[in-house]
Structure 1
Amino acid sequence: MSTDTRLTEWHKAVFDKDLALLSQLLHPEVEFNSPFVWTPYQGRDKALGILSTVVDVFENFTYHREWVDGNEMALEFSANIGKVSLKGIDLIRWNDDGQITNFEVMVRPGNGLMTLAQTMQQRLAEKGLM
């Protein structure tokens, strides 16, 4: 899968909230590094649960800059949760088969990170994922 195809598929999964496509893009043993906890989450089901929740939590989600180097991507984004604005970076590593093997998220400023953490904890608990 070419870099352009991977980026196009990722954008489609995120902006169309296409969970079937998102699931296909995630390797079964994907490692997801959350901005809230040190220990990564392991596996497609956990990563899919987190990512599908965050696409519902974020308002006005936009990618601004995208850096691609082979199987590595850094995607700068901004979003709101209510009145709180945040910025972040998605670091995505793909394998040669077009699946995401590692996904890491960084978020700032502190109040945006805390709002995201509280909102995600509540939503994930409601879904039975925490």
Structure 2
Amino acid sequence: MHPFRKAVEARDTAALEALLADDVVFTSPVAFKPYPGKPITAAILRHVIEVFEDFRYVREIGADGAADHALVFTARVGGKEITGCDFLHTRPDGLVDDLMVMVRPLSGAQALAEAMGARFDRIAAEAAGAEAARDA
């Protein structure tokens, strides 16, 4: 089982953040531009864990030790059932440097966009605070 999956299933946001490379790039299923950097990616993941209801991984694709993994999941957001996939790339040191999430159906993606959009000011503030603390 991939360490990212273990951390998500345990809802362990500290472990999730520890698995992210400083230069990780997060590609959202509902935003056009990717989000570069550990602070914003960690903040997004902390909030997504709260937004997803009945989240569970149903399949993991990728060999042990491979750089690329796909983690298929199901969840509910705003009463909408979704199926999604976390596509991970890990560096040789085991840190995730690329995370792309896709979800379906469109109604589920729209519910996710609405739920995360309502939190985005807080997400951005958390990320800015983490960056300031790191740079201090």
Q: Which TM-score applies when normalising by structure 2?
A: 0.85
- For 1:27, the equivalent position in structure 2 comes to 21
Q: Secondary structure at the match of 1:118?
A: helix
- For 1:129, the equivalent position in structure 2 comes to 124
Runs of 5+ in structure 2 lacking a partner?
126-136
- For 1:88, the equivalent position in structure 2 comes to 84
Q: 1:118 to 1:109 in 2, by over 3 A?
A: same
Alpha-carbon contact 2:78-2:111 (below 8 Å) kept = no
Alpha-carbon contact 2:5-2:71 (below 8 Å) kept = no
Aligned 1:1-130 pairs, distance under 5 A: 4=1, 7=2, 9-69=3-63, 70-125=66-121, 127-129=122-124
Q: Deviations over 1:38-83 (max 9, x none)?
A: 2211000010011111011001101111101411001111100132
Q: 1:128 to 1:33 in 2, by over 3 A?
A: closer
Runs of 5+ in structure 1 lacking a partner?
none
- How well do the aligned residues superpose, as a CA RMSD in angstroms? 1.4
Q: Which TM-score applies when normalising by structure 1?
A: 0.88
- Per the TM alignment, residue 128 of structure 1 is displaced from its structure 2 partner at its CA by 4.9
Alpha-carbon contact 2:80-2:111 (below 8 Å) kept = yes
Instruction: Output the CA distance in 1 between the equivalents of 2:11 and 2:55.
Output: 12
Instruction: Output the CA distance in 2 between the equivalents of 1:98 and 1:59.
Output: 28
Aligned residue pairs total 123
Residue identity over aligned pairs, in percent, reads: 36
